[in-house]
Structure 1
Amino acid sequence: MSGPTAANLVASVRAVLPSLTPSVRSIARLILDDPAMVARSTITELSAASGASQATIVRTARALGFSGYSELRLALAAASAQSQSQRAADRLVPGDLAPSDPLADLIAKVTRAESDAIADTAAQLDPERLGKVVDAVTDANRVSMLGVGASGLVAADMAQKLMRIGRAGHPFTDVHLALTAAALAAPGDVWVAVSCTGETADVVEPIRAARDAGATVVAITNNPRSTLAGLAGHVLVSAGRETEFRPGALASRISQLLIVDCVFVGVAQRTFTTADTALRVTKDALDRYAERRLRS
């Protein structure tokens, strides 16, 4: 099995972290905290430094998608080299927000966090997987989106984007309505579920019902090993770093929106003639409304 690339290694480790066993997670955290040190260390040195057995280190490498520790070290060395140019910026814009931070630092840190989330998501967004989702949505008899809380806003955003190109999408943020609709799902329908953790019961249970009814399920989640991902036929991994002032769902929203935009543009490309006409018609309708408001 080939592991993550140097470009997306750290993002991939962060994505699977919640699903790892405690012993493997301790090595994975060490990779996130000091990838250069891990890359420099032999398996014996890393075992001594971390207190973990060599067998645990090998299991960690395999859990992350590598054939062994040597392959993981090579990927970490490449990732560390790529991150050299970012280190100065990391020092200028240190991690989390503090209550006493001036607004200038707030702007810099929030901007950095959101740009990092977009970059990490883009690094993990496989074109082949994205293409299969675009095909599924394009060919669907009916498309439904599901999310709660901040993820519900992303589901609603996807619905309104599809509507602008003449494709009806039904967003659900209420578990009772979602379960009702999911029970009536059929083959040819597509359900797009948005959940940062992939474990939100109000999302998982309707999606389980939709899948059992024969619908194609697409998951947009931070955790590719979550219950939701396991139910899905297609998984698109988002990335967002949780901070004190930005819990997981909020930190992931910008990366989820990036994925939604990529799906939307892909569908618009596949249906260019009808999508282009629909975009012009809807824009004209809004422009006429604005003109009438200005005259009144």
Structure 2
Amino acid sequence: MLDQNGPTPVNLVATVRAILPSLTPAAQGIARLILDDPALVARSTITEFSAAAGTSEATIVRTARALGFAGYSQLRFALAGAVARQAPERLVPGDLGPDDPLTDVIAKVARAESEALADTAAQLNPDRLGLVVEAVAGARRVDVYGIGASGLVAGDMAQKLMRIGLPGHSFTDAHLALTSAALVRAGDVAVGVSCTGETPDVLAPMGVARKAGATTVAITNNPRSALAELADHVLVSAGRETAFRPGALASRISQLLIVDCIFVGVAQRTFETSEAALRATRDALGDFLADTRRRGR
């Protein structure tokens, strides 16, 4: 759910990008214009913007409200703040083209990753994160569901929790995920990871886990997605995928930032047991590597 006062200038563009898939076709066209040239929108009256967009003023007002603003004036003011605070290239990260030289590829990919981290941090609500940390720290078990690139994030979260002695399990197979979800109960936590928030193989076990009484958490780019509807707590990531970068690092790294924040928060809440668990696992791995090196001599 968006803040009733609308997104802040810092995370406005990230918010527009996140909810774009859930907008109507007409509103999506307006949102893309905002993403393509926020400075143009910021300096345009609603009549000027209506002419540039080729749509009615009423549609523009409805889009502004869908983005969390009372009207176009508030949207325009927020965009002006965003433009003033950030360089134009920061607001519109260039998509990769088929003829881009590798120097441009490096620059654009690196910028996309750094912006994904900054945008995710800007819109990550500490209070909401705290509720997730509290639920995970006190959980009997934690299931994490993710498919494809998001499955890598699910595995990372489960591995991190295991290192501090919490029973975390990741599932990238829908059948196994459903089997596990059917056995959760109140006090357990189920985490669904999906960039779009519409992945059927994640939605199905999340729905089962919710019915079984688990606390449900969504890590997604789209706060208005079906996954978000199934979640008690929604943590919004800000990475975006493009034609040349499906499952892009920017999407994964923004999700991984959220996972790391959850992990550190849980480790803080359970410091004594977490520290002992980290020391024990570190020692076990160290002993194994030392034995391996000795046998290799």
Q: TM-score range by the shorter chain?
A: over 0.9
| Corresponding letter in the other structure for 1:96 | D
What is the TM-score when the length of structure 2 is the normalising length?
A: 0.93
8 A contact 1:16–1:224 mirrored in 2: yes
Give the whole-Å Cα distance in 2 for the aligned partners of 1:248 and 1:285: 34
8 A contact 1:16–1:223 mirrored in 2: yes
Give the whole-Å Cα distance in 1 for the aligned partners of 2:204 and 2:144: 14
| Structure-2 residue corresponding to 1:152 | 151
| Structure-1 residue corresponding to 2:246 | 247
Question: Does residue 1:124 correspond to 2:127, yes or no?
Answer: no
How far off its partner does 1:241 sit? 2.4
**Which region of structure 1 is more displaced relative to structure 2, 238-247 or 151-160?**
238-247
1:50 to 40, 50, 53: 53
Question: Does residue 1:235 correspond to 2:234, yes or no?
Answer: yes
8 A contact 1:11–1:239 mirrored in 2: yes
| Corresponding letter in the other structure for 1:288 | D
Give the whole-Å Cα distance in 2 for the aligned partners of 1:132 and 1:258: 17
Q: List gaps (5 residues or longer) in structure 1.
A: none
8 A contact 2:96–2:244 mirrored in 1: yes
Give the whole-Å Cα distance in 2 for the aligned partners of 1:202 and 1:164: 27
| Corresponding letter in the other structure for 1:46 | F
The C-alpha deviation readout for 1:100-139, integer Å capped at 9, x for no partner, is: 5444433322211211111111111111111111111111
Question: Does residue 1:15 correspond to 2:21, yes or no?
Answer: no
| Corresponding letter in the other structure for 1:134 | V
8 A contact 1:240–1:248 mirrored in 2: no
**Which region of structure 1 is more displaced relative to structure 2, 99-108 or 16-25?**
99-108
| Corresponding letter in the other structure for 1:77 | A
2:85 to 67, 78, 82: 82
| Corresponding letter in the other structure for 1:179 | L
The SS at the match of 2:192 is strand
The SS at the match of 1:194 is strand
8 A contact 1:151–1:249 mirrored in 2: no
**Correspondences of 1:44-123 after superposition (within 5 Å):** 44-84=47-87, 87=89, 95-123=94-122
Give the whole-Å Cα distance in 2 for the aligned partners of 1:278 and 1:103: 44
The SS at the match of 1:28 is helix
| Corresponding letter in the other structure for 2:28 | R
8 A contact 2:19–2:224 mirrored in 1: yes
The SS at the match of 1:167 is coil
8 A contact 1:198–1:222 mirrored in 2: yes
Q: List gaps (5 residues or longer) in structure 2.
A: none
| Structure-2 residue corresponding to 1:256 | 255
Give the whole-Å Cα distance in 1 for the aligned partners of 2:100 and 2:125: 37
2:36 to 33, 36, 45: 33
The SS at the match of 2:55 is coil
The SS at the match of 1:242 is coil
- For these two proteins, the number of residue pairs brought into alignment is 292
The SS at the match of 1:162 is helix
Question: Does residue 1:5 correspond to 2:4, yes or no?
Answer: no
| Structure-2 residue corresponding to 1:274 | 273
